[in-house]
């Protein structure tokens, strides 16, 4: 193992992947929060006790919780609403799809298509910028679906990502007196 490689706990191995996406996004007007989105955002934050769906942590000062579109807002013009609804019948984190049944979904801002995520969270007492929404090695926009979802079910004291290592490398102040993970 190279000298600059992160220390891997006994009984684990690192499975490193590089993912490149090239996404075709249909032209769309600039994003503006709709009244439907704002209403559903507030409802979900209140219903969810202002906690992240993945880590169950509350929003942090200066990094409030964010509401994520399960089917991306920017991709909505390319999506078939009936197929979106089929997907949401399989992944229904708050039970709204079951409650609303097959009522058509006409907007990406429909409550069935929204999920509360942290914009910053703590792992081992260290802040992870971007949290489970946009965070490096932790956020839904940064890791594959299986890894992102596994973070919700991980055992206490166990991690399935290198989010903490990445945060320490990005901000030496987080690394503590021993310095960043690569020893520099």
Angstrom distance (rounded) from CA 109 to CA 15:
36
pLDDT at 125: 75
pLDDT at 61: 74
pLDDT at 5: 57
Query: Which residue in 24, 55, 26, 21 sits closest to 142, CA to CA?
Result: 21
pLDDT above 70 for 3: no
The predicted-structure confidence for 96-125, as pLDDT tens digits, reads as follows: 999 999 999 999 999 999 999 999 887 777
The span from the first CA to the last CA of the chain, in angstroms, equals 17
The predicted-structure confidence for 31-84, as pLDDT tens digits, reads as follows: 889 999 999 999 999 887 889 999 998 887 777 899 999 999 999 999 999 999
Burial of 66 (C-beta count, 10 Å sphere; 0-12/13-18/19+):
buried
To the nearest whole percent, how much of the chain has pLDDT over 70?
Answer: 84
Q: Please state whether the predicted TM-score (pTM) of the whole model is above 0.75.
A: yes
pLDDT above 70 for 152: yes
pLDDT at 174: 47
């Amino acid at each position: 193992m190279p000298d600059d490689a992160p220390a891997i706990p006994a009984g684990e191995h690192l499975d490193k992947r590089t993912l490149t996406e090239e996404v075709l996004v249909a032209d769309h007007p600039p994003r503006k929060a709709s009244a439907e989105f704002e209403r559903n955002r507030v409802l979900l934050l209140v219903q969810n006790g202002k906690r992240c769906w993945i880590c169950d942590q509350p929003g942090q000062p200066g990094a409030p919780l964010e509401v994520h579109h399960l089917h991306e807002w920017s991709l909505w013009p390319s999506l078939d609403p009936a197929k979106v609804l089929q997907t949401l019948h399989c992944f229904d984190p708050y039970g709204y799809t079951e409650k609303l049944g097959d009522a058509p979904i006409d907007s990406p801002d429909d409550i069935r298509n929204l999920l509360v995520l942290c914009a910053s969270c703590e792992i081992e007492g260290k802040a992870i910028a971007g949290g489970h929404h946009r965070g490096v090695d932790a956020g839904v926009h940064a890791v594959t679906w299986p890894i992102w979802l596994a973070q919700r079910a991980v055992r206490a004291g166990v991690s399935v990502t290198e989010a903490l290592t990445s945060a320490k490398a990005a901000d030496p102040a987080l690394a503590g007196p021993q310095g960043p993970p690569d020893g520099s």
